Each structure stands twice: as C-alpha cells, then as structure tokens.
Amino acid sequence: MKKPKHTILLFTVTLAGIWGCATSDRDNVDKAQKINAQKVTSEDVSEFLTEAADARMMGIEEGKLARERATSKAIQEYGEWMIRDQKKLLAEIKKLAAEKEIELPQTISEDKKDGLEDLKRKRDRDFDRKFYRMMKIDHKRDLKEFEEAIKLNDVEVADFAAKYTPVIKAHLEHLKNINPQQAEL
C-alpha cells in the first residue's frame, strides 16, 4: 500500500516539531528568549535581561557555596557579598522585565548548571581557587555586557545598566584585592 506524499511530509514535519520542542526546552534561558522574540520588545533588551537574570541566579548560588565551603575567610566574606548584591540586582531585573513584559528564566541555564556542578565537586583550597577564577571570569563578562547595555536604545534598561555597572566593577576590584596568599589560593 502506497502512502500519499503529503502523509509522509506531515509525519516528517510532526517529528521535527516534536524533536525541536524536546531539545529546545532544556534550557530556560533559551526558552525565555524565544518567548520574548515573539513580543514587540527589542531583542537586545530581552537578551540582556534574560542573560543578566541567569548570571545573577548563578552568582547567588556561587555565593552560597563560597559561604559554606571556602577555607579562606576572604572568600567566605566575598560569597556573602555576592549573595546580597546579586539578590538586589536580580530583584531589579525582575521588576524591569515585568514592566517590559519580558519573560525571565526561572532557573539557571544548562551551561551555568554545569559550571555550578563543577564548583560543587571542588573541596578545600581547590574550591577557593576555582571560585576565585570563576568570579574573575564572570565579573569581566558581566562588566562587558553591562557596559554594552548602557548603549541600548531602551532608556530604562540603559539607566539600569549604568546604575549597576559600578557594583560589578566594585566586585571585580574587590576580587583583585584579595591577597592570593592570604586567601590560600
């Protein structure tokens, strides 16, 4: 029995759709960005806010780990500072996103989950070293993204980025001032 071409085509398209949904829904950040792409909001604005929310959620989790596992008092204190400031930034991001009807991820992205799991596997001085390196990389990336966001055509988002860029710079500078010998790095 021969199947009509349109039945085979319909089956193929259905399978592709199912496969696409199964693979794309794994990452909350991608999912939020796809929802936002269907709205009128600038793609740059929604991308910045979703990525910034993802990074803040990750920073909170990293801070919690540092507070609990760091062998260095300086790293523990830095973790506390991270938790406090990242929660504040995340609250502001959520408020701004709600005003702009931008969907934010509810959990950290798969990439960040992998990084967090890697950090969780570290112990003692290895944990301190890994945390320190992650913070340095994360804050440099965040600083670049916030500085770029200042140039966006959305006044509220540009103002937000300008307001919090000094906070990110302060985190990076404070990290640079942690004496590696004192922090047992």
Task: Specify the CATH superfamily of domain 5-176.
Answer: Ferritin, core subunit, four-helix bundle (1.20.1260.10)
What are 122-174's pLDDT values in tens digits?
999 899 999 999 999 999 999 999 999 999 999 999 999 999 999 999 999 99
Please name which of 31, 180, 166 lies closest in space to residue 109, comparing C-alpha atoms.
Answer: 31
pLDDT of residue 185: 45
Q: How far apart are CA 139 and CA 59, in angstroms?
A: 10
Helices (H) and strands (E) in the chain, counts: 7, 0
pTM: 0.76
Give the residue ranges of the chain where pLDDT is below 70: 1-26, 31-41, 179-185
- Every domain of the chain and the residues it spans: 5-176
pLDDT of residue 9: 38
What's the DSSP call for residue 27? -
Q: Where are the beta strands (DSSP E) in the chain?
A: none
